[in-house]
Amino acid sequence: MNLDAHTYPHPSKRNVVYGRKGMVATSQPLAAEAGLDILKKGGNAIDAAIATAACLTVVEPTSNGIGSDCFALVWVDGKLHGLNGSGQAPENLTIEAVKEAGYESELPKFGMIPVTVPGTPGAWAKLSEKFGKLPLKEVLEPAIIYAEEGFPLTPTLAKYWERAYNAYSRLFKGDEFAPWFETFSPGGKVPKVGEMWSSPGHAYTLRLIAETNAKAFYEGELADKIDKFFQKHGGYLRKEDLKAYRPEWVTPINVNYRGYDVWEIPPNGQGLIALEALNIIKGYDFTHMDSTDTYHKQIEAMKLAFVDGMKYITDPASMSVDCKQLLSDEYAKERRKLIGEEAITPEPGKPPMGGTVYLAAADGEGNMVSFIQSNYMGFGSGIVIPGTGIAMQNRGHNFSLDPKHDNALKPGKKTYHTIIPGFLTKEGQAVGPFGVMGGFMQPQGHLQVVVNTIDFGLNPQAALDAPRWMWSEGKKIHIERHLAPHIAEELSRRGHDIKVELEGGPFGRGQIIWRDPKSGVLIGGTESRTDGHIAVW
């Protein structure tokens, strides 16, 4: 790994950032600075991460909200901890109920049906309780102030806000969607770049969560409001579902890639896909970054890993294979044999039996956090609980209605989840957190960032700014327009269906913080494809 600030093989819009006492990197400047303020008040990296995450529900509602799910990888005292903050399907939500509602092939994207129990408020409280230094009330205060007093919209935020409003105005016709418009486009007006927006209901909700350590959301006043609204509009979520929820501490999974351990959250997250793909490509030597063969082999490995993930990843209790089987060297060798000179249409293998926000935070004491939080598709389901600012996620859309599928919908089950935090260690020491948000782009972004960092020695900013590719289906590969034309042409000759994208949004938004093991200096990179920002001390 090369942390040289001058290592920029592709055009970069930002310089790499250095600090010593603390660093917070995320997609919205106000949220990153809120986390840094908490560090300066005596909080640690965990407090800073919670403060930033809560603030993001206010200042970037186009990607996440109080009704989100989240996951975290937390490095404390020389050990990596994992927290699964995703919720389960309501007890009344069954395959039969969905089909009776008129949906035969898949769950709808919007409305009451795809809403599962939001895990984020409970996860904030759990993280604070186990690792935080400051009271949750103090940690959530910056988010509460922004919700009450308002903030000016940043360019990327305003673009996606207007895009959502235009789409929702066509799609959302029922009364259950009225609170979304009342909350996010009051008076029929969408906030523009630089205009102020506030949400008193959001502030009130955050204060209740802070004062009760999230119990108000799962057992008290907020749970009652959620239950009442879902019953009124024929939804399935109930107070009993909320009360039954518990965030879950989990053991992170990893593979060793060229001497570095790459860590991910285990299923129901899709980090397994990134690890399987890395396990496949570690059998190759990549000598040149801008080589057609380098791109081709990464793409083919990712396709093979992705189809496995889509077949097997779900709530661990329902998986027909386990992570060890999919991440075994034996299985990686078998999958690697399928990669030739031409693009293939991938099929799942048979292992040997046996809208999202991301943030990274670090403090001067060595604690580091990789944290991701999402409503899934932009604002989520389109369901907002009246007067609360709670925008509910639509994670249930990922469930299968095929009862034989590993990810088949069942009451109380957690679905396949796209959001994944990443973490890097070497020889038992923390290197640092990384992540690239963006739906099914996420494991692909993780693979590319790891390869850029380890194989080609790019610093955090250069690793993020490098041109990206994204596999979508079959042989279709989307590429950024600044990827070298000769590589795109050669990939096309190898059978890849290449589509050049004019916008960077589909390729995800990443953040990285590495720690120099000798000096303790923090080195950060933030996403140039959005309003990315690093707050540093």
Hey, which residues are catalytic here? 356
What whole-number distance in Å separates Cα of residue 28 and Cα of residue 30? 6
**End-to-end Cα spacing for the chain:** 24
How many residues does the structure list for the chain? 537
**Residue 10 DSSP one-character state:** S
What whole-number distance in Å separates Cα of residue 509 and Cα of residue 530? 7
Angle at 198 between CA 195 and CA 199, to 5 degrees: 150
Residue 343 identity (one-letter amino acid): A
Enclosing H/E stretch for 250: strand 248-250
3-state secondary structure of 199: coil
Q: List, as own/partner pairs, every contact residues 291-297 make where C-beta atoms lie below 8 angstroms and the sequence separation is at least 24, other chains included.
A: 291/487, 292/486, 292/487, 292/490, 292/491, 292/494, 295/469, 295/487, 295/491, 296/341, 296/343, 296/491, 296/494, 296/496, 297/339
Among the listed residues 370, 124, 409, the one whose alpha carbon sits nearest the alpha carbon of residue 265: 370
**Residue 493 DSSP one-character state:** H
Task: Please say whether the beta carbons of 153 and 197 come within 8 A.
Answer: yes
Q: How far is CA 351 from CA 325, 403, 418, 443, in A?
A: 6, 22, 22, 20
Among the listed residues 257, 279, 376, the one whose alpha carbon sits nearest the alpha carbon of residue 323: 279
